[in-house]
Structure 1
Amino acid sequence: MAAEQSFALPGYRLRVGSTLDRATVVKFMERTYRELDPHQSVGHLADTVDRYLSRNTPLWWIDEARADHTAGPVAGLWLGQATDQRSGTLHPYVLLLYVTRDHRRRGIATALLEVAEAWAQQQGHRQISLQVFSHNQAAQALYTRLGYQSEAVLMKKELPQELAGY
């Protein structure tokens, strides 16, 4: 991956992240989960990042185009890998897409997804996938507008605690 890619969103610049950005990835994942459910546990997220963040999982950050470069990123996108359950094809999977509240509704998420999709095509991939929480209507609307389609429904059943420890 090149250190800089073209990014045509005025006032912002794109940069490629690395495994050295672990703490920022964890912080952005925690923010995402807390915004969706302030009572949800986020302790597992650091383990998830440790398990999947590698030099083979692309990571991009968006910074404000300021001279001091001290503010830190205002958005980020991190790709992992998934296997298409129908075809067995390995493809990029969005593990994290987060834009800080003050920078939303400016096209940043769309621009980041375009960067990820271009990268995926350059790597020879024919699809990209993601999972979105069922109550995150704003994200669902964005993904639908960008051409993402529902392919499956994730279902789960909470089991009573007394049965879990058999």
Structure 2
Amino acid sequence: MAEVQIRRYEDDDDEDVKDIFTLGMSEHVPSSCLHVLKQPPTQMLLVCVFCALLASSKSLLLPILAVTLLLAAGRQGISYMFTQYIQTSLHRDLNHIRQTYLEKPNSCFWVAESQGRVVGTVACLPAEMNEGCLELKRMSVKHSHRGQGIAKALCRAVEDFARKQGFPAVVLYTSVVQTDAQKLYEHVGYKKIREFVVPELTAKITNFTLFEYRLDLQQSGN
């Protein structure tokens, strides 16, 4: 692993943390577009539009243009949803990290620092949907520093904290498009225990699934 220090968040880290989170979430737009394109309702819509316009116009240009516009509009829609999620997350906790994670019991926020620069983040707090467990949140590593063991070190920081605080398990949630995150969590010992579709209508139509992972500390060794 690169020379990296895992330490508690400090107020001067604020802008770096928000930049890492925003860029990390924005990276999922292309994979989310691909996921939506793989869904049968999306494929059926595109085929129907193409065939209907081809039959009515007797020309390839109009249906190709229409499908292209639909794809562009779809990408814009997905980008908008991620932008809304980013803004909601900033409002919910990332604009006031100290109050949310450092001034409340059984909560913490860490950053990974390399050569004086913040290159990764992770946080935890008591889980809302799993009483008695700790929830891992806000895991993100700058693209330029991935593959160096930083994410694993951040996971260990949360695990060690949970043990010291006496929690029996750590839980987390990730999405179907975050395949690298799924591999990471499974590699460090988390087990997928549940999957469910986000309740919003758009998510149901596109089968946007969330995965719940759990790390049972008694079974992960000491």
TM over 0.5: yes
| 2:201 match: secondary structure | coil
Q: Which residue of 1 aligns with 2:91?
A: 47
Residue type of the alignment partner of 2:164: Q
SS at match of 1:141: helix
Q: SS at the partner of 1:62?
A: strand
Mapped partners of 2:145, 2:152: distance in 1 = 12
Cα distance in structure 2, aligned partners of 1:92 and 1:19: 23
Q: 2:183 — aligned with what?
A: 141
Query: Displacement of 1:150 after TM fit?
Result: 1.4
Aligned positions of 1:81-92 closer than 5 A:
81-85=126-130, 88-89=131-132, 91-92=133-134
Q: Which amino acid aligns with 1:54?
A: Y
Tell whether 2:107 aligns with 1:62.
Answer: no
Aligned equivalents of 2:5 and 2:160: distance in 1? 17
TM-score by length of structure 1 reads 0.75
CA distance in 2, matches of 1:159, 1:11: 45
Aligned equivalent of 2:54: none
Residues 148, 36 of structure 1: alpha-carbon distance in 2 compared, 3 angstrom cutoff: same
User: Which structure has the larger Rg?
Assistant: 2
- State how 1:105-144 maps to structure 2 within 5 Å: 105-144=147-186
Q: Please list the CA deviations of residues 24-70 of structure 1 after superposition, one character each: whole Å capped at 9, or x if unmatched.
A: 43333212211112712122121121577232331111111x3xx3x
Q: Structure 2 counterpart of 1:139, which letter?
A: A
The alpha-carbon deviation at position 20 of structure 1 amounts to 6.2
1:14 aligns with 6
Cα drift, residue 22 of structure 1: 4.2
Amino acid at match of 2:154: L
Which structure has more relative contact order (CA 8 Å, sep 6+)? It is: 2
Q: 1:135 to 1:16 in 2, by over 3 A?
A: same
Q: Give the structure 2 partner of residue 74 of structure 1.
A: 119
Alpha-carbon distance between aligned partners in 1 of 2:28 and 2:171, rounded to the nearest angstrom: 20
Superposed CA RMSD in Å reads 2.3
The SS at the match of 1:105 is: coil
Partner SS for 1:131: strand
CA–CA distance in structure 1, aligned partners of residues 125 and 26 of structure 2: 22
Q: 1:105-127: per-residue Cα shift (whole Å, max 9, x none)?
A: 11111111111101110110110
**Aligned equivalent of 1:96:** 138
Larger deviation, residues 16-25 vs 34-43: 16-25
3-state DSSP of counterpart to 1:43: helix
- SS of the equivalent of 1:44 reads helix
CA shift, 1:11, in A, is: 1.3
One-letter amino acid of the counterpart of residue 172, structure 2: L
Structure 1 residues 54 and 136: CA distance shift in structure 2, 3 A: closer
Greater helix proportion: 2
Identical positions, percent: 20
Alpha-carbon shift at residue 83 of structure 1 (Å):
3.8
Name the structure 2 match of 1:28. 20
Unaligned runs of 5+ in 1: 1-8, 161-166
What is the TM-score when the length of structure 2 is the normalising length? 0.58
- The amino acid across from 1:82 in the alignment is A
What 5-or-longer segments of structure 2 have no aligned partner?
31-78, 203-222
